[in-house]
Amino acid sequence: MSSEISPKADISPKAKIGDGCKIFPFVYIEDDVVIGDNCVIFPFVSILNGTRMGNGNKIHQGSVLAALPQDFEFVGEKSELIIGDNNIIRENVVINRATHRGCKTVLGSNNFLMEGAHISHDTVVGNRCVFGYGAKVAGDCNIGTGAIISSNVVEKANTRVGEYAVVQAGTTFSKDIPPYIIAGGHL
């Protein structure tokens, strides 16, 4: 089964695209990219060097995957963004690749990222997580399986959210959130 790729998409011939993908017009895909089977890439998505994407993902308009790390330590080293299977990444989501050579930003499988969410460099996200509108996760964070990061949450660098924790809308935090709790406010 071949993929349906718009002739108006700008895709490097070096990129590896799986079977059964649908790639809309005005998508931009760089050289060092691997996309699995049955993915849907909507218009105006940029998938940059270092992206390794699994199967069944849907990437909506205006999203940028493997954007350069927003880290003063970044000097252009080759790093990766690893994305699992069956994720839904809605409009204008930005996910940065890792800062240093051989390092990875990781998004597991079956996650849902709502419009405007941002996952920064070297962050590791488990499976079945939800990120609300405009949620911002700084670099070097770890988010456990099943966590819910509600709308307009700001997670500061080097923090962890435990599995199945819920962070309420508008929360800003610089401390770890334990598993299985509901957290809110300024922590």
Instruction: In whole angstroms, give the CA distance from residue 29 to residue 22.
Output: 13
Please identify which of the residues 122, 132, 140, 162 carries the catalytic annotation: 122
Quote the pLDDT of residue 187: 86
Please identify which of the residues 54, 56, 134, 139 carries the catalytic annotation: 139
The answer to whether residue 122 is catalytic is yes
Q: Strands, DSSP E only, in 32-147? A: 34-35, 40-41, 46-47, 51-53, 58-59, 64-67, 80-83, 88-89, 94-96, 104-107, 112-113, 118-119, 124-125, 130-131, 136-137, 142-143
Average pLDDT of every residue of the chain: 97
Instruction: In whole angstroms, give the CA distance from residue 187 to residue 47.
Output: 34
Q: Tell me the average pLDDT across 95-99.
A: 98
Residue 120 in this model has a pLDDT that exceeds 90: yes
Please identify which of the residues 121, 126, 134, 162 carries the catalytic annotation: 121
Residue 1 in this model has a pLDDT that exceeds 80: no
Residue 131 in this model has a pLDDT that exceeds 80: yes
Quote the pLDDT of residue 19: 98
Q: Tell me the average pLDDT across 2-11.
A: 96
The per-residue pLDDT for range 16-69, each reduced to its tens digit, is 999 999 999 999 999 999 999 999 999 999 999 999 999 999 999 999 999 999
- CATH code of the domain covering residue 139: 2.160.10.10
Measure the N-to-C terminal CA separation of the chain; round to a whole number of Å.
50
Which domain does 52 fall in, by range?
Answer: 1-187
Number of domains in the chain: 1
The answer to whether residue 118 is catalytic is no
What's this model's pTM, rounded to 2 decimal places? 0.96
Residue 99 in this model has a pLDDT that exceeds 90: yes
The answer to whether residue 36 is catalytic is no
